[in-house]
Chain A
Amino acid sequence: MATIDVLPETAAVRWRPRVDAAQLRLRGRLWTLTTFSHVVPFVASATLLMWMQPLALPVALVCLAHAWIIPELYAQRGANVLRPPRRPHAAAGTPPTVSEQRSVGLLGDLVGHDARELHARTGLVLEPGRLGTWLVGEAGAVLLHGRRRAFCYCVRVDPRQARAAGLPSGDRIAHLLLALRSDEAGFATVANLAFSGAQWRLRRRMRKEMRPALKAVGTRAPAFDSGSSGMR
């Protein structure tokens, strides 16, 4: 059987270094540094203003609001990768179409009972990997690395493919899941990183019905050592 170890799609992003545990740690630290660089000046300004002139309280509060809102906006950007794409013809409460049911059936065949049940509740598939535990949605995936950090990746069936239009939700997830299973590092390399930060921050911005998926990771997954370097 002629198999391919590296995800073929990585050829389209050959300038990107292949993701590994060390690179993930570095990217996580850079995100933390960026967040600090946004937050610290506003907090410092607020403190300075209050020290110089207590009547400047409203301005100081605006500064503190900025210090809070900017990381929240980043976290929202991260949570958005799990948001299912809008379907123009699907109204809320509409029963799933036959194609949706068939696609979910196929997805169910690819995953275990627990993952199937979690998908039915949250719309996300939990997939353990070597870099951490993944939550895979229709248009993105979140990698939970260690106990505290999340990496949110925007990745989907290539929309330049005409046949990608009209794919049901289960198939979209199955596409990502199969790619992830065949080459986890390649998958993370092809995907665009939308956010890296604290899991608690991401959780607050996730849709309510999706939050149990994060909890399921916490109860299911072992403590992934952020220093592990094994690759699939």
Chain B
Amino acid sequence: MSKLIRMDHTGHSTLAEWTPGDPAGVEAAVAAFRAELDRGYLAMVSTGPGHAEHVRELPVDAELVILRLPISGG
């Protein structure tokens, strides 16, 4: 089961869960993913120990997609 989560004031919220073989679940996840990107979130996927990548489209095969806010110099 793959998960789309957003880091927020609650710690994190699960926005969608899907399996690649479930078109309705995938569609709902893609919709949630795009909505969060439109709100300014950036999507990240872990790609092994110590590595992560930004993604612009929902990677359906990924186990976990994390939405984060932009960072800036303080």
Contact = CB atoms under 8 A, between A and B. Distances in A.
Interface of A: 1-5, 7-9, 12-13, 81, 98-103, 105-106, 110, 112, 127-129, 139-140, 153-161, 163-168, 170-171, 174-176, 178-179, 181-182, 187, 190-192, 232
Tell me whether chain B's interface is mostly helix, strand or loop, or mixed: loop
Nearest to B40: A161
Contacts of A182: 44, 51-54
A2 to B, nearest CB: 4
B10 to A, nearest CB: 5
Interface of B: 5, 7-12, 40, 42, 44-46, 49-57, 59, 62, 66, 68-74
A174 B57 contact: no
Contact of B74 (A7, A154, A178): A154
Nearest to B59: A1
Contacts of A174: 7, 66, 68
B9 A100 contact: no
A152 to B, nearest CB: 11
Given A1-B53, A165-B9, A191-B74, 11 more contacts: A3-B53, A98-B11, A103-B12, A106-B12, A127-B50, A128-B50, A155-B72, A159-B72, A171-B7, A179-B71, A181-B46
